[in-house]
């Protein structure tokens, strides 16, 4: 074992760590030296979004001590930025406050209480949810309670062995510059568990629950555009699965508030359970995670199937295709349906505003831009992540009216009263859309094809490559470096006309040598735009040894009757691009 790793192990064996932790380390020393090395070879990085990693002992794991040290650093920064001696806060007789929520994962409640105790010991007022709650409600609570920050304990859709810690700012969004980097600096200053205030401020903790739930439900209900259509189709047959997560705490109530009274919960996945016993990955993007829901939807001949991930910020929907077969819509299709519905319905109802705007991300389907243009609505593209959508809302506040934001990763953010993706409000609105289309005598699937005919047929595909082990991140870095140093001039026979490097904030035309600046913050993303309108994006994860490749192709669709034929041709084109890139 490397000397540096051995030193860290020894520090934990001799330092102020509990007996259970020391026993677990001793067990690894006896039986799993590789596991021990992986647990200590680096510090679990507090990235721009917070922490995420495997649970266990060690500096490279999610545990009481890494969570506590992160919280101490974040508490220090909040106190620097928001002092109770400041004039604005003094008038309210208030100091710094935070809201804390957690999902259904193993240890999430323990980590949430640890986080609350550390904040409270630092003199910060804490609003801690009484039990598990969806991430979007945490974002809403921060704004509703006028907190300066917040934390949700979740690893989103990752496997059961993982947990995470997402930090939020006073507007209910995750951290953006300069706060993200500044918090990281403060966290890095916490060199030892002895630097953490672990207890002593318990009186600063207030438990919250039903009153906040009611306020959130009322907010979501206000997003409905066509309540009169729901009234006519209140018996719309809805199947919903929370996939053992937090969605069960709120979504049935929200659908009831909207007016739907024929909701069927997937029984096998209804109970919150951090072991996620029915799935390999609790991710609604995966058909395996939605398989129970698909079976129930088929059995009941439902109108729509919906599912949320463990912290209920991510959603998936299933609908019947033209042949009556159940299919899962991908994230881009779901976003297209939602964006179009709000723009189209608001215009039809006469509530659209001349300064309406929508926001999406650089790796999401360009079809959204086409729909926005067709509706005379400004569409902005930002970096991947809802914190950047929230940042755009801040920039345009008072000038433009935000309607909806979303990205391909099965996330939507409807209205500006929360500032993170919200699977609860998204499911409610998608069910309203299903009722709206049913009123017109068609399904959401048929509506999607009609949109392809109107705006062009855009098809997307995603490949995710994971490189495990201690050198996984280095392998991915080498892959990106290779693309940067030797970019292809053509892909699948079509010239690369734009190479967009968001890391150096520069765009280049490899054919002409022309260069231009990219007016977005730095991000380790590369995009290849081809002469035929296709695009390929490469984006490494900031928290895992993983790299994602996003593919988008498009063509004209003359009629719904041609859909199957053109769809097959688009699949072949994507396969050819992947083959040419040797992925």
- Quick check: is 156 catalytic? yes
Residues 198-212 as b or e (16 or more Cβ within 10 Å = b): beebeebbeebeeeb
CA distance 217 to 255: 9
CA distance 396 to 374: 21
Q: Number of helices (H) and strands (E), helices first, in the chain?
A: 19, 23
CA distance 45 to 188: 9
Measured CA to CA in angstroms, residue 269 lies from 239, 281, 375 at distances of: 12, 13, 40
CB of 166 closer than 8 Å to CB of 152: yes
CA distance 49 to 45: 10
CA distance 328 to 320: 9
> Residues in the chain, how many?
583
Considering the candidates 39, 104, 139, 156, report the single residue annotated as catalytic. 156
The residues, any chain, with a CB within 8 Å of residue 527's CB and separated by 6 or more, are: 362, 498, 499, 500, 502, 535, 536, 537, 538
DSSP letters along 229-261, please? HHHHTTT--EEEE-TTSGGGGTHHHHHHHHT--
CA distance 178 to 308: 32
The residues, any chain, with a CB within 8 Å of residue 323's CB and separated by 6 or more, are: none
Task: State the pairing for strand pair 494-501/526-530.
Answer: antiparallel
**Burial (CB count <10 Å: 0-12, 13-18, 19+), residue 18:** exposed
**DSSP 8-class letter at 44:** P
Selection from 98, 78, 68 nearest residue 206 by Cα: 98
DSSP letters along 254-298, please? HHHHHT---EEE-GGG-S--TT-TT-SS--TTSTTTTHHHHHHHH
The residues, any chain, with a CB within 8 Å of residue 231's CB and separated by 6 or more, are: 259
The helix (H) or strand (E) run that includes residue 464 is strand 457-466
**Phi/psi class of residue 139: alpha, beta or left (left: φ > 0; alpha: ψ in -120 to 50)?**
alpha
Q: Which two tokens stand for residue 472?
A: 């996984």
Peptide bond connecting 318 to the previous residue in cis, omega within 30 degrees of 0:
no
**Residue positions annotated with a catalytic role:** 156
């Amino acid at each position: 074992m490397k000397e540096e790793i051995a030193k860290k192990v020894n520090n934990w064996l001799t330092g102020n760590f509990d007996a259970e932790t020391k026993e677990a380390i001793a067990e690894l020393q006896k039986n799993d030296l590789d596991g021990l090395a992986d647990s200590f070879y680096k510090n679990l990085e507090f990235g721009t979004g917070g922490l995420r990693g495997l649970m266990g002992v060690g500096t490279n794991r999610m545990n009481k001590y890494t969570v506590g040290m992160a919280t101490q650093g974040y508490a220090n920064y909040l106190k620097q930025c928001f002092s109770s001696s400041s004039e604005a806060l003094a008038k309210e007789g208030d100091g710094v406050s935070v809201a804390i929520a957690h999902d259904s994962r193993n240890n999430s409640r323990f980590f949430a209480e640890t986080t609350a105790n550390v904040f409270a010991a630092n003199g910060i007022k804490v609003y801690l949810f009484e039990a598990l709650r969806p991430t979007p409600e945490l974002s809403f609570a921060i704004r509703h309670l006028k907190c300066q920050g917040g934390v949700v304990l979740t690893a989103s859709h990752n496997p059961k062995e993982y947990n995470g810690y997402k930090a939020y700012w006073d507007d209910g969004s995750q951290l953006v510059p300069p706060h993200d980097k500044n918090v990281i600096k403060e966290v890095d200053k916490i060199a030892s568990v002895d630097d953490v205030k672990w207890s002593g401020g318990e009186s600063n903790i207030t438990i919250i629950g039903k009153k906040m739930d009611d306020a959130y439900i009322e907010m979501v209900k206000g997003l409905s555009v066509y309540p009169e259509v729901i009234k006519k189709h209140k018996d719309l047959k809805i199947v919903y699965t929370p996939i053992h997560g937090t969605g069960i705490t709120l979504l049935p109530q929200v659908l009831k508030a909207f007016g739907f009274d024929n909701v069927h919960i997937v029984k096998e996945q209804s109970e919150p359970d951090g072991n996620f016993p029915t799935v390999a990955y609790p991710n609604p993007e995966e058909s395996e995670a939605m398989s129970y829901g698909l079976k129930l939807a088929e059995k009941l001949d439902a109108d729509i199937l919906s599912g949320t991930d463990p912290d209920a910020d991510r959603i998936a929907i299933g609908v019947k295709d033209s042949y009556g077969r159940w299919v899962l819509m991908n994230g881009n299709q779901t976003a297209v349906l939602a964006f179009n519905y709000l723009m189209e319905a608001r215009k039809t109802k006469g509530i659209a505003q001349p300064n309406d705007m929508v926001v999406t991300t650089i790796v999401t389907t360009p079809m959204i831009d086409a729909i926005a243009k067709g509706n005379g609505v400004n569409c902005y593209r930002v970096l991947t992540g809802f914190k950047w959508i929230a940042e755009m809302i801040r920039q345009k506040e008072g000038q433009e009216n935000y309607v909806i934001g979303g990205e391909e990763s099965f996330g939507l953010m409807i209205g500006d009263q929360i500032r993170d993706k919200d699977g609860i409000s998204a499911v409610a609105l998608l069910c309203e859309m299903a009722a709206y289309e049913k009123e017109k005598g068609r399904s959401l699937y048929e509506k999607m094809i009609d949109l392809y005919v109107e705006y062009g047929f855009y098809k997307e595909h995603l490949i995710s490559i994971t490189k495990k082990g201690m050198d996984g991140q280095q392998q991915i870095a080498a892959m990106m470096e290779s693309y940067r140093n030797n970019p292809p001039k053509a892909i699948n026979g079509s010239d690369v006309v734009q190479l967009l490097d968001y890391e150096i904030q520069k765009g280049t035309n490899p054919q002409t040598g022309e260069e231009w600046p990219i007016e977005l913050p730095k991000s380790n993303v590369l995009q290849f735009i081809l002469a035929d309108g296709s695009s390929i994006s490469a984006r490494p994860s900031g928290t895992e040894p993983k790299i994602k490749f996003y593919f988008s192709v498009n063509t004209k669709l003359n009629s719904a009757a041609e859909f199957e034929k053109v769809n097959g041709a688009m699949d072949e084109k994507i396969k050819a691009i992947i083959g040419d890139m040797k992925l």
